[in-house]
Chains A and B, each alone.
Chain A
Amino acid sequence: MRIHLTSVVVDDQRKALRFYTEKLGFRVKHNIPMGEHAWITVVSTEAPEGTELLLEPDGHPAVRPFKAALMEDGIPSASFAVDDVKAEHDRLVGKGVRFVQPPTDLGTVVTAVFDDTCGSLIQITEEKQQGGT
């Protein structure tokens, strides 16, 4: 069994598509119109055959209060791996991305959290090298 698809629920699919491609640098894998909404997935350019991220519409009435509660506590909806959190933070800030948590060294990992402008927070994580190996 493999994890082939995961999703982040967005308040506006077109806005999300722009953010996740133009700001984050992901590539569109599928963009299939489905009535009012579309089946939109993006992939990392570093792993185009890897896990797809579905930009999922937030039509269900339970979604908004759930997302609002996560946002209030600062809880990210997804976490992406990067080689260098600080460099990625600087690159994204340069593109106008708003970080709610700057790069923070937590011992074994460095993390930072930004606002995806579509109602969710996203964490980026760098696993620190454990000395020796």
Chain B
Amino acid sequence: MGHVDIYRAIADPTRRAILDELADRSGQSLFELRARLVMKHGIDSSRQAVSQHLDVLETAGLVRTRREGRSKLHWLVGAPLKAIGERWPVSTDEDTPHSSDEDIEK
């Protein structure tokens, strides 16, 4: 559950897309998540693949699952990401030539 897990978890583009969608709406079923991934991101991953991505995110503490009724829903937990900002804090007087975010992969 160390920080390494967070970095590994967000290193994968599909897992970042999962976090994007859970940030849009927390408390999604696997079905809803897969529909969003394929329709909005063109990611046509199998049920098992998405399930495994969710396991990685859950191990990293970024996703929590909860049963609601008879369904299993997935929730985004953003708190662990704070560790990144605390480790490399953004200074207020940044004037680096590459401060724009246009080079950062989504």
Contacts and interface: CB of A to CB of B under 8 A. Distances in A.
Asked if A pairs with B, the answer is yes
A113 interface: yes
B72 A72 contact: yes
Given A106-B40, A108-B39, A113 B32 contact: yes
Contacts, number: 52
A56 to B, nearest CB: 19
A74 B30 contact: yes
A98 B68 CA distance: 12
A108 B81 CA distance: 33
Interface string A61-83: 00000001001111110000000
Interface residues of B, number: 17
Contacts of A72: 70-72
Given A100-B29, A101-B28, A101-B29, A73 B36 contact: no
Interface string B37-68: 00110000001000000000000000000001
Interface string B58-102: 000000000011111100000000000000000000000000000
Interface in B1-41: 25, 28-32, 35-36, 39-40
Contacts of A75: 29-31
A107 interface: yes
B39 A74 contact: no
A45 interface: no
Given A73-B29, A75-B31, A107 B71 contact: no
Given A100-B71, A111-B35, A74 B29 contact: yes
B36 A104 contact: yes
Nearest to A101: B32
A126 interface: no
B70 A68 contact: yes
